[in-house]
Amino acid sequence: MTAAHTHRAIEAVWRIESAKLIAGLTRIVRDIGRAEDLAQEALVAALEQWPASGIPDNPGAWLMATAKHRALDHLRRGQLLRRKHEELRHELETRQELAVADLDAAIDDDVGDDLLRLMFTACHPVLPSESRVALTLRLLGGLTTGEIARAFLVPEPTVAQRIVRAKRTLADERVPFEVPRGAELAARLSSVLEVLYLVFNEGYAATAGDDWMRPALCDEALRLGRILAELAPREPEVHGLVALMEIQASRSGARVGPSGEPVLLLDQERSRWDQLLIRRGLAALARAEALGGAGRPYTLQAAIAACHARARTPANTDWARIVALYEALARVSPSPVVELNRAVAVAMASGPAAGLALVAALTSEPSLQSYHLLPSVRGDFLAKLGRFDEARSEFERAASLTRNARERALLLERAAACS
Amino acid sequence: MRFMMPMIPKGYEKAAPGTLPDAKAIAAMTKYNESLQQAGVLLALDGLHPPSMGARVSFPEGKPKVTDGPFPEAKEAVGGYWMIQVKSKEEAIEWARRCPGSANEVIEIRQVQEMSDFPDLAPTE
């Protein structure tokens, strides 16, 4: 093995082990920032030693043992300093005993629980949304600050800053490293799911630019979702979200044309849909529904996606069922975007005039004023009704609102076709 | 990146119909499979019956010709596979390294071809 080979192999080990390592260390030192530093020190030690010694048989255990040694070193060094202050002696001894007890307990405890604690902590509501995303990708995804910055098209120092601040907030607010129980669990879990879906959508929707990092975000969100489904197998919405992401990801090979232009769902070559992901998605959906999730937001969205996945051709789509699912979704999770989607489904089931009547109510909706899909959908209905002049101006307006260059080109094309 | 990891157990090419791995090997492999699942990388896996229960379709002169198993000329046979989603070939290798394989077993790491490998393939209308 060359040095470059070993280096890439260590990267692979890091990707597999880092989240478990940081999670286990956080429980011992009770501070995410310190835990990450210790994990990084263990990684540095691996980079120094493994090229000569080879990768150990159990690299995860090696990294954990190394990091724990460092933790103890830090503790002892801290003790020596403090011993100079006689008044602190007693407190110190107590702390030392506590730390050793923690270390012992840590060895036998379940790694899975730590990972789950880490997910809940990284997605804690005390943090702003973009910090939850950055921290989750960094601590659980093992992504570098540079990779996160590239994926979200923000400068690297901004991401670094977000992560530093987030760790400090978690420490200042004394956020406990635990899986919430009882009534708190539902709200906290939805925060975790929201972060994962946000990451997925950032990769899937590509609101701006077209960096290669974006598909990696979808993969990462899916991977974390699958891990979460193993850690919290009784939570229907976890499986609902996984189902939704699996089915949406199944279309990724079909939703972009040969020159990078977006291809709309009904125009996609369905033979390019990934049947393996569809099967996984349908299985996850069945699990969510069996656990009583049928009426919950992610499971409902997955059920809608499943209607498309099951239809061999666009003409076979069960639009009546999709309309019913959107109605249920509008009840549990009302939003203008859901209404817009419901209008699209109604138009497919009952004709463009019915859809147009529904979107009419949305044109005054403040949150949709700069949402390109509203005029895009209106344009589509109007074009189908033969009202081409109105359709053209809607498509042009939609083109002026989207931040995605490929999408803009597609909308301008549709506008031109209305002449 | 998606990888298929076929498992090739030496001798399986000559295994009698209905040959199954022993319970101890299955238990160890189940634990390994669970670790792939818990890590969120496992997409699919299957174990395959031996070639003696299968058949081969070849195309001498472009015409299909069916031969029932076993196949005396075969030097190895796939016994099963994992399909995993990872970030690099090295990560796939690292997962394969962790498999509780026996002395007669080999795991191959094969990347799955994706749409992006065929940039000239325009979607057919």
Query: Could you please report the per-residue DSSP string of A233-299?
Result: TT-HHHHHHHHHHHHHHTTTTTSB-TTS-B--GGGS-GGGS-HHHHHHHHHHHHHHHHTT-TTSHHH
**Average pLDDT of the residues in A177-199:** 92
User: Hey, what amino acid is at A155?
Assistant: P
> What is the per-residue pLDDT for A119?
96
**Interface membership of A7 toward B (CB under 8 Å):** no
**Average pLDDT of the residues in A26-46:** 93
Instruction: Give a yes or no: residue B80 inside a domain.
Output: yes
Question: CB within 8 A of A1, min separation 6: which ones?
Answer: A9, A54
Instruction: Give a yes or no: residue A5 inside a domain.
Output: yes
Based on the structure, what is the number of domains in chain A? 1
> What is the per-residue pLDDT for A287?
98
Radius of gyration of chain A from its Cα atoms, rounded to whole angstroms: 25
Q: Is B40 within 8 Å of A227 when comparing Cβ atoms?
A: yes
> What is the per-residue pLDDT for A131?
95
> What is the per-residue pLDDT for A49?
95
> What is the per-residue pLDDT for B109?
98
Instruction: Give a yes or no: residue B125 inside a domain.
Output: no
Based on the structure, what is the number of domains in chain B? 1
- Tens of pLDDT, residue by residue over A282-293, are 999 999 999 999
**Average pLDDT of the residues in A291-314:** 97
Cβ-Cβ contacts under 8 Å, B95 against chain A: 16
Instruction: Say if residue A136's pLDDT is above 80.
Output: yes
Work out the pLDDT band at B17, boundaries 50, 70, 90.
Answer: very high
Nearest to A226 among B40, B115, B124 (CB): B40
**Average pLDDT of the residues in A238-262:** 90
Work out the pLDDT band at A214, boundaries 50, 70, 90.
Answer: confident
Q: At what angle do helices A32-53 and A59-83 cross, to 10 degrees?
A: 120
Q: What tokens does A199 get? A: 């990451």
Q: How far is CA A169 from CA A19, A32, A66, in A?
A: 20, 11, 28
When the pLDDT of each residue in chain B is averaged and rounded to a whole number, the result is: 93
More confident residue, A3 or A323: A323
**Interface membership of B88 toward A (CB under 8 Å):** yes
When the pLDDT of each residue in chain A is averaged and rounded to a whole number, the result is: 89
Work out the pLDDT band at A104, boundaries 50, 70, 90.
Answer: very low
Work out the pLDDT band at A120, boundaries 50, 70, 90.
Answer: very high
Q: Which of A322, A309, A225 is nearest to A273 (CA)?
A: A309
Work out the pLDDT band at B121, boundaries 50, 70, 90.
Answer: low
Query: Residue A43 belongs to what domain range?
Result: 1-109
Q: Is B123 within 8 Å of A258 when comparing Cβ atoms?
A: yes
Radius of gyration of chain B from its Cα atoms, rounded to whole angstroms: 17
**Interface membership of A15 toward B (CB under 8 Å):** yes
**Interface membership of A78 toward B (CB under 8 Å):** no
**Interface membership of A251 toward B (CB under 8 Å):** no
Work out the pLDDT band at B125, boundaries 50, 70, 90.
Answer: very low
At B5, is the secondary structure helix, strand, or coil?
A: strand
Instruction: Say if residue A19's pLDDT is above 80.
Output: yes
Nearest to B124 among A223, A226, A269 (CB): A269
Dihedral of the alpha carbons of A41, A42, A45, A46, in degrees to the nearest 10: -140
Q: What tokens does B90 get? A: 């090295």
> What is the per-residue pLDDT for A116?
94
- Tens of pLDDT, residue by residue over B37-94, are 999 999 999 999 999 999 999 999 999 999 999 999 999 999 999 999 999 999 999 9
Work out the pLDDT band at A294, boundaries 50, 70, 90.
Answer: very high
> What is the per-residue pLDDT for B61?
94
More confident residue, A412 or A153: A412
> What is the per-residue pLDDT for A151?
80
Instruction: Give a yes or no: residue B123 inside a domain.
Output: no
Q: DSSP class of residue B112?
A: P
Question: CB within 8 A of A140, min separation 6: which ones?
Answer: A19, A115, A118, A119, A122, A224, A227
Contact A112, A231 (CB under 8 A): yes
Instruction: Give a yes or no: residue A26 inside a domain.
Output: yes
CATH code of the domain containing B87: 3.30.70.1060
Instruction: Give a yes or no: residue B122 inside a domain.
Output: no
Q: So what's the ipTM on this one?
A: 0.91
Instruction: Say if residue A359's pLDDT is above 70.
Output: yes
Instruction: Give a yes or no: residue B22 inside a domain.
Output: yes
Instruction: Give a yes or no: residue A399 inside a domain.
Output: no
Concatenate the DSSP letters of all residues of A392-406 into one string. Answer: HHHHHHHHHH---HH
Contact A345, A374 (CB under 8 A): no
At A337, which helix (H) or strand (E)? Answer: helix A336-350
Instruction: Give a yes or no: residue B30 inside a domain.
Output: yes
How many cross-chain Cβ pairs, A to B, lie less than 8 Å apart?
64
Query: Residue B72 belongs to what domain range?
Result: 2-117
**Interface membership of A253 toward B (CB under 8 Å):** yes
